[in-house]
């Protein structure tokens, strides 16, 4: 059966970023990747994706505002009929640029915060950006954009969930994405320093539920329990090659943000191949499409259509076999590895007395060019 079109295009315009977040989802070796696509190449990618049927566009990075041609990219995307989401740290978002982006047709802005406190926000991003982000949030609303506030959660800020929700309400955000850390890239390196425990998650979820009851549709709160605390995997990317098409700064086409880590997966580049061929015909986008690729436990499972086998990157990271059952599933022979990481995280939390800066057992590794180069030495 021929797959449907990609509906969601994520354009990672650059890996340059003024922040150094310890849970960044960019690849750890990003500093060794090739040159960024030029303006004309991005405009061409957008036109090809739109012709395929993509309609939601995420402009992300890194920090997309580092690209001086962002306004030109937005204007082109709008002419093509995309719904355009800017996913930003807010650094570099001036009143002038907000106005220019609005005029170019930008639909919505997702602004990240790291915490409701200046101390933790600035520590986790290794910057002084808390006040700046607050100013930017006010400007975004003054320009009339719908705003999603995004905050990545882990054991250090899960106890602040109530204050984070209050902050989102005060800023007038229409949506609040409480994104529990997913353990890939830098977050995987920092997993023992970030991993929450089950009680923290339960409490945070209860707080979210109380707010939902109280505030109704004024601000929609998204809170998803992280994989490591589940017994069934999530339908990663809504199924490989069904919905999502990512393009990395150097033009590499990605069936999921993290797919670059998978061994032996030859990812096509938009500079070498038309997007239509990449989506429908490339080996990479077909490898985990559907259910035929699944092995033993998944192949005979009555839930295989529901979760599409879960996450390939997680299978690779935790079992060393990218084709294996996602070990989050308690039917996996390797589910104990997920539980072991959760237990190790608890131990690291006890040893550091809950103080992130005292993590002798599991010191935080910040996302910097120097760390990227050091960790990916050939």
State the residues that interact with other proteins by CB under 8 A: 5, 7, 52-53, 55-56, 58, 81, 83, 85, 107-108, 110, 146, 148, 174-175, 217, 220
Return the number of the residue (189 or 257) whose C-beta is nearest other proteins.
Answer: 257
The distance of closest approach from Cβ of residue 53 to other proteins in the complex, given in angstroms and rounded to an integer, is: 3
Question: Minimum distance between the CB of residue 241 and other proteins, rounded to whole angstroms?
Answer: 16
Q: Which two tokens stand for residue 333?
A: 């022979």
Cα–Cα distance for residue pair 378/363, rounded to 1 Å: 24
CB of 159 to other proteins, least distance (A): 27
- If we measure between CA atoms, which residue out of 185, 118, 187 comes closest to residue 154? 187
For other proteins, which is the closer residue by CB, 220 or 337?
220
* Min dist. Cβ of residue 278 to other proteins (A): 16
Measured from the CB atom, the residue of 7 and 100 that comes closer to other proteins is 7
Pick 219 or 322: Cβ nearer other proteins: 219
Residue 151: strand pairing partners: 113, 178
Closer CB to other proteins, residue 85 or residue 157?
85
Task: Mark 130-144 as b/e (b = at least 16 C-beta within 10 Å).
Answer: bebbbebbebbbeee
As beta bridge partners, residue 153 has 180
Report DSSP letters for 263-321, one per residue: TT----BTTTS-HHHHHHH-HHHHTTSSSTT--HHHHT-TTHHHHTT--HHHHHHHHS-
According to DSSP H, which parts of 66-217 are helical?
70-80, 95-104, 118-125, 130-142, 161-171, 185-189, 191-194, 198-215
- Residue with structure tokens 């970023």? 17
Length of the chain measured in residues: 378
Q: How near is the Cβ of 301 to other proteins at its closest, in Å?
A: 28
Percent helix, strand and coil across the chain, each to the nearest 5: 45, 10, 45
Least Cβ distance, residue 217 to other proteins (angstroms): 5
Helix (H) or strand (E) holding 175: strand 175-180
Least distance (Å) between residue 239 CB and other proteins: 16
Q: Which is nearer to other proteins, 231 or 238 (CB)?
A: 238
Cα-trace Rg, the chain = 20
Distance in angstroms (rounded) separating the CA atoms of residues 149 and 19? 17
Q: How far is the CB of 109 from other proteins (least distance, A)?
A: 9
Residue 51: CB minimum distance to other proteins, A: 9
The nearer residue to other proteins, 29 or 174, going by C-beta atoms, is 174
Nearer to other proteins, 84 or 265 (CB): 84
The encoded tokens of residue 219 equal: 């601000």
Rounded CA-CA distance 97/71 in Å is 8
* C-beta of 217 vs 300, nearer to other proteins: 217
Tell me how far, at minimum, the Cβ of 146 lies from other proteins, in Å. 4
Exposure pattern of 276-300 as b/e (b: 16+ CB <10 Å)?
A: eebbbebebbbbbbbeeebeeebee
Cα–Cα dist 41/95, whole Å: 28
Rounded CA gap, 64 and 80, in Å?
20
């Amino acid at each position: 059966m021929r797959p449907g079109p990609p509906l969601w295009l994520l354009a990672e315009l650059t890996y340059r970023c003024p922040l150094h977040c310890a849970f960044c989802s960019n690849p750890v070796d990003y500093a060794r990747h090739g040159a960024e696509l030029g303006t004309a190449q991005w405009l061409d990618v957008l036109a090809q994706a739109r012709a395929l049927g993509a309609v939601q566009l995420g402009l992300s990075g890194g920090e997309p505002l580092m690209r001086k041609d962002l306004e030109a990219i937005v204007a082109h995307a709008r002419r093509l009929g995309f719904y355009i989401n800017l996913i930003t740290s807010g650094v570099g978002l001036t009143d002038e640029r907000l106005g220019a982006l609005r005029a170019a047709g930008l639909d919505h802005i997702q602004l990240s915060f790291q915490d409701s406190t200046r101390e933790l926000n600035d520590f986790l991003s290794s910057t002084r950006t808390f006040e700046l982000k607050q100013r930017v949030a006010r400007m975004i609303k003054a320009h009339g954009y719908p705003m999603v506030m995004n905050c990545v959660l882990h054991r250090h800020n899960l106890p602040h969930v109530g204050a984070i929700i209050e902050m989102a309400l005060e800023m007038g955000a229409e949506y609040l994405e409480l994104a529990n850390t997913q353990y890939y890239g830098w977050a995987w390196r920092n997993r023992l320093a970030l991993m929450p425990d089950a009680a923290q998650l339960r409490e945070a979820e209860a707080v979210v539920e109380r707010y939902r009851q109280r505030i109704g549709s004024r601000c929609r709160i998204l809170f998803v329990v992280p994989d490591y605390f589940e017994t069934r995997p999530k339908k990663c990317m809504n199924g490989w090659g069904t919905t999502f098409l990512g393009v990395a700064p150097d033009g590499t086409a990605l069936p999921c943000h993290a797919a670059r880590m998978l061994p032996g997966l030859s990812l096509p580049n938009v500079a070498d191949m038309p997007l239509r061929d990449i989506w429908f015909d490339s080996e990479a986008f077909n490898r985990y499409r559907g259910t035929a690729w699944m092995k033993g436990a998944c192949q005979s499972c009555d839930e295989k259509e529901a979760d599409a086998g879960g996450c390939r990157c997680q299978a690779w990271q935790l079992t060393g076999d990218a084709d294996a059952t996602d070990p989050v599933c308690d039917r996996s022979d390797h589910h104990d590895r997920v539980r072991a990481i959760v237990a190790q995280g608890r131990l690291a939390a006890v040893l550091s007395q809950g103080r992130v800066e005292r993590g002798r057992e599991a010191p935080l590794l910040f996302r910097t060019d120097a760390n990227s180069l050091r960790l990916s030495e050939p």
